[in-house]
Amino acid sequence: MTAIRRRSVRGRRRMTSRRHVARRTDATVAVMTYFSVDVETSGLIPGRHTLLSIGVVELASGAEFYAVIDTRETSPDDFDLPPVKWDPGTLEWFKTQEAAYAHLTDPATERHKQRDVAEWLARWVNSFPEPHTFVAWPVSFDKPWLDILFHDTGVPNPFDYRSVDIKSWICGKFGGGPEVDRDELPEAARALYIEAEFPHHALSDARAQAETMRLLLAH
């Protein structure tokens, strides 16, 4: 499996063809490039637990990035991670996600050093027009992992401070609050939520989030 993959949009749900346009106070026009991002991790605490995989989809083009981090111990000069530090509760839960767990723990799954992944991801994101906007559900979980990845490897963060939380957007538009689960959202909002084909596979989740975000932008 390659780290960067682009796919055709044929045969899939029709995508929004234009990037979202936001007007600035100085009357210039900023074209926002949205990236749906999902990470899989060995626990809830960035820095204490381990980043396992990253999936990203650029909304307008459908271009994709996917990488599994090589967590085997190597020289510190490589900025690689020590063996996976699992949170016990997360590990027990992850084992119930059989397909996703098997993929991440299969020795045959292609893995890449964290420095390489950071460099590839930054280069790929920077190939799209700025400003780059990080999109996730919830952004409060996914974004800190990438912030730390770029910080630890010394690679400039291509996402900067711009981010969108999909659930917050939905709740602001349709009602609800942070305590509301997906299945408790108003009916109109639930219609925008797209289930992942392969739950807890980072790229599959990023694809589903991207489709939800496209629907929100078009709504």
Tell me, yes or no, if the pTM score tops 0.75.
yes
Interval 13-31: pLDDT, tens: 333 333 444 433 344 445 7
114-141 mean pLDDT = 96
Phi, psi of 159 (to 5 degrees): -95, -20
pLDDT, position 137 = 92
Q: Which CATH architecture has domain 4-218?
A: 2-Layer Sandwich (3.30)
DSSP state of 140: H
174-201 mean pLDDT = 73
The C-alpha atoms of residue 80 and residue 114 are separated, in whole angstroms, by: 6
Interval 82-120: pLDDT, tens: 568 889 999 999 999 999 999 998 989 999 999 999 999
Domain residue spans in the chain?
4-218
147-157 mean pLDDT = 95
Q: Residue 36's closest CA among 194, 210, 203? A: 210
The model's confidence at residue 175, banded by pLDDT at 50, 70 and 90, is: confident
150-172 mean pLDDT = 91
Burial string for 93-119 (b: 16+ CB within 10 Å, else e) reads: ebeebeebbebbeeeeeebbbbbbbbb
Interval 19-76: pLDDT, tens: 444 433 344 445 789 999 999 999 999 988 999 999 999 999 999 999 999 986 544 4
Going along the chain, which residue ranges are E strands?
4-5, 21-23, 29-31, 33-41, 51-58, 64-68, 132-136, 163-165
